[in-house]
Amino acid sequence: MTFSVAATAESIAAVPVSIPAPAVVSGSSAATEKGRCAGCSVRSKGLCAALPAEELPELSAASRTINLLSSTPVVLEGAEADSVFTVVSGMLKLYKTLPDGRQQITGFATAGDVIGLAVGEAYAYTAETVTASTVCRAPRSALHRLMERRPAVQARLLAMTSVELSAAQDQILLLGCKTAVERVASFLLALSRRSRPLPDGCPSVFLPMPKVDIGAYLGLRPETLSRVLRKLEDAGAITRLTNDRIRLDDAAALEATATLAA
């Protein structure tokens, strides 16, 4: 299971339009942008993984790295969609706003995830930074030109779409069939696969988002989430190292718990 909202193949044909640029802490200058893509830490994870080295200068010229504070919107639900964003570092939450103003969290995007692949002319969700983050913004028109010349980029998008659709199905299973303990175990395992292990090799997860957001994603009340985490800790499956870092002491036990409903 991944943590970004599923893109669709229809995204390829979306019409380029415009939204205001997000507020930034700082952005790279044109001079420092040259050759930036060649040394990007997430090049192997995003759409640009399908590009050969000779295509990277054009992408570097068309895109821009943006450093963002926490709680900064990157895309806004309903806004005109003209850009695609790759998360370089940090974490974003993706959500839809209900008519009464409540937020339904639909995912969490981390390094390498691509957001903004909207269906049609508007973004279908809001993406907001959870932590200070860096994103790479590319105009949709530039992406379309690359797709026309490089079918491998389109194939990469379709492959990423397939993964995200599978993740959406997993999320339906999680919310519809799994117990609270099974949901939390599934969530921790999925996030650990996208996180670096501790120096001793033990898997861990970074949870900078508030419990209300995790609970909204898992369909649990914050107090239920806290109770389940305590239960897993008492069972020796996890250790809470800090408020936002959890070590997975018994990944096999978590795996067994997470698959009970499958």
Determine which helix (DSSP H) or strand (DSSP E) holds 58, and give its type and residue range: helix 56-62
The CA distance from 167 to 106, in Å, is 11
Ranges for all domains in the chain classified under CATH 2.60.120.10 = 9-164
**What's the confidence (pLDDT) of residue 60?**
82
Amino acid found at 188: L
Handedness of CA 236, 183, 192, 214 (dihedral sign): negative
CATH class of domain segment(s) 178-258: mainly alpha
**What's the confidence (pLDDT) of residue 102?**
85
Residues 6+ positions from 22 with CB-CB distance below 8 Å:
66, 68, 72, 73, 74
H helices within 128-258, ranges in order?
140-149, 151-177, 180-192, 211-218, 222-234, 251-258
Residues 6+ positions from 42 with CB-CB distance below 8 Å:
86, 87, 88, 111, 112
Instruction: Give the mean pLDDT per block of 10 residues along the chain (262 residues).
Output: 36 32 44 65 81 80 92 94 93 92 89 84 93 94 82 80 71 78 93 88 93 92 96 96 94 88 48
Cα 167 to Cα 11, 14, 22, 59, 123, distances in angstroms: 18, 22, 28, 28, 20
Cα 2 to Cα 75, 124, 134, 220, distances in angstroms: 19, 18, 19, 19
> At 186, is the secondary structure helix, strand, or coil?
helix
> At 127, is the secondary structure helix, strand, or coil?
strand
**What's the confidence (pLDDT) of residue 145?**
82
Amino acid found at 238: I
Ranges for all domains in the chain classified under CATH 1.10.10.10 = 178-258
**Minimal CA–CA distance to 105: which of 3, 199, 249, 252?**
3
Question: What is the CATH topology of the domain spanning 9-164?
Answer: Jelly Rolls (2.60.120)
Question: Are the C-beta atoms of 184 and 191 separated by less than 8 Å?
Answer: no
Q: Strands 64-68 and 73-75: what pairing?
A: unpaired
